[in-house]
Amino acid sequence: MDIAATGTTSRRNAPRTSHLRPVWLRRAAVPLAIIALWQAAASLGFTSPQTMPAPSLIVSSFWDLIVTGQLWPNLLISLTRVAGGLAAGVAVGTVLALASGLTRVGEDMVDPIVQMARTLPHLALIPLMILWFGIGETPKIVIIALGASFPIYLNLFSAIRGADPKLLEAGSVLGLSRRETLWHVVLPAALPGFLVGLRQALGIAWISLVVAEQINASSGIGYLVMNARDFLQTDVIFDGLLVYALLGLVTDRLVRSLEIHLLAWRPKLVGA
């Protein structure tokens, strides 16, 4: 046997994973390049510190927010608002999707109302929320819940109605009752759609928070941003935007990690 040929064949048949190892480096390459160009432009005087401060200045002011203790209390308040609004939105969207997706009567009663409501820009309802609930925490949480409920409803409803007929037929052959079919077949098949809706709901929840915290807010990341605007602290405004972006990225990664564990049974397509 030709040992050289055998070695060549082994190398050809070996899994091509070497180029996949530095995943973090590939993900960070473009953002790091943008930051480097931004810093260079600021250092050469192509940008004004009042309109586009250098990344180094933004990082310095971010550290000051941490050291002075301004960041953590406001961050906790923002997280509390999103958690409350998201929980309410997911609960409402799930209940409506189950009611509409599992029965024809529920669809006739629920779906037209939801379809009309979701065409309304929920952020434009803030003045009405203030009239109804005042200027406290309630209107902020309600706005977040409204924005988060529609992606959950649409994705879960679609996933329930799109359950594989072959799985339903298999459940019938095995003698499953309607309740057992729903619990063991329909709902597991709808889980991927629900998780997609949850990721979309998280993104809308953060967007809703950004707007809600800039109206009659006395705390939160949005409050820091509004104060910075009043005092022309552009670097602090960028710090607030950075916090929003990082929170959105972290929460999305958490849902994706949950998706990996809950959907381990599902075959995955990995890009080359």
Q: What is residue 51's predicted lDDT score, i.e. its pLDDT?
A: 83
C-alpha atoms less than 13 angstroms from C-alpha of 133 in its C-beta half-sphere: 14
Select 55-260's CATH number: 3.40.190.10, 3.40.1410.10, 1.10.3720.10, 3.40.50.300: 1.10.3720.10
Q: What is residue 126's predicted lDDT score, i.e. its pLDDT?
A: 85
Q: What residue spans define the domains of the chain?
A: 55-260
User: DSSP secondary-structure letter at 215?
Assistant: S
Residues 19-33 have a mean pLDDT of 71
Query: Residue 259 in 3-state DSSP?
Result: helix
Percent of the chain with pLDDT over 70: 81
Give pLDDT tens digits for 80-100. 999 999 999 999 999 999 899
Q: What is residue 104's predicted lDDT score, i.e. its pLDDT?
A: 87
Q: How far apart are CA 65 and CA 67, in angstroms?
A: 6
Between 155 and 215, where is the model more confident? 155
User: DSSP secondary-structure letter at 269?
Assistant: P
Query: Quick check: 210 and 244 in contact, CB under 8 A?
Result: yes
- 224 CB-near residues (< 8 Å, 6+ apart): 65, 70, 71, 74, 236, 239, 240
Which residue, 237, 232, 205, 233, is CA-closest to 221? 237
Query: Quick check: 203 and 252 in contact, CB under 8 A?
Result: yes
Q: Please report which residue ranges of the chain form alpha helices under DSSP H.
A: 3-13, 23-43, 55-67, 71-102, 104-118, 126-133, 138-161, 165-173, 178-181, 187-212, 221-230, 234-262
Residues 107-123 have a mean pLDDT of 88
Q: What is residue 168's predicted lDDT score, i.e. its pLDDT?
A: 63
Q: What is residue 268's predicted lDDT score, i.e. its pLDDT?
A: 62
Q: How confident is the model at residue 14 (pLDDT cuts 50, 70, 90)?
A: very low
Query: Distance of CA 231 to CAs 22, 129, 195, 203, 213, Å?
Result: 42, 29, 41, 29, 18
Which residue, 75, 77, 73, 96, is CA-closest to 85? 77
Q: How far apart are CA 97 and CA 135, in angstroms?
A: 31
Give pLDDT tens digits for 69-78. 889 999 999 9
Q: What is residue 15's predicted lDDT score, i.e. its pLDDT?
A: 47
| DSSP-assigned letters across all residues of 114-172 | HHHHHTS-GGGGHHHHHHHHTTSSHHHHHHHHHHHHHHHHHHHHHHHHT--HHHHHHHH
Give pLDDT tens digits for 236-269. 999 988 998 898 889 988 988 888 888 776 666 4
Residues 16-43 have a mean pLDDT of 74
Give pLDDT tens digits for 175-196. 666 676 677 677 788 888 899 9
Q: What is residue 52's predicted lDDT score, i.e. its pLDDT?
A: 86
Query: What backbone phi and psi angles, to 5 degrees, belong to 121?
Result: -70, 110
Q: How confident is the model at residue 102 (pLDDT cuts 50, 70, 90)?
A: confident
Q: How far apart are CA 205 and CA 194, in angstroms?
A: 16
The pTM assigned to this predicted structure is 0.78
